[in-house]
Amino acid sequence: MKEKLEVVSPVGGEVVKQNTVAPRLADLDGKTICETWTGLFKGDATFPVLRELLKQKYPGAKVIPYSEFPVCWADTPASQKALAKKIAALAKEKGCDALISGNGA
């Protein structure tokens, strides 16, 4: 008896278009810097340190903490895309010139 097996590729079929990033700002002094966090690795410990270091180096900068944005983690590509649009709209509304996204050790 011959069995017929169906093989499915684990690679998946979704292709994500590569985007370019915005050019670097010449200086952060006088700029509004926003934070977003995935809620995963110790952002609650590291973002306050980053905030303090930014204030020391750029006293004219305004930092808007991650707590003023939704947690930037979603489970599907579609929900991640929708969340990214929501965060981008909030960042624009808050006047963000720069955004620190994520966190790591």
User: How sure is the predictor about 1, in pLDDT bands with cuts at 50, 70 and 90?
Assistant: low
Averaged confidence pLDDT in the chain:
88
Global pTM reads 0.73
- pLDDT, residue 105, reads 53
User: So where are the chain's domains?
Assistant: 32-101
64-105 confidence digits (pLDDT tens): 999 999 987 777 888 888 999 999 999 999 999 999 987 655
DSSP assignment of the chain equals ---------TT-S------PPPPPPS--TT-EEEEE--S-SSHHHHHHHHHHHHHHH-TT-EEE-GGGS-----SSHHHHHHHHHHHHHHHHHTT-SEEEE----
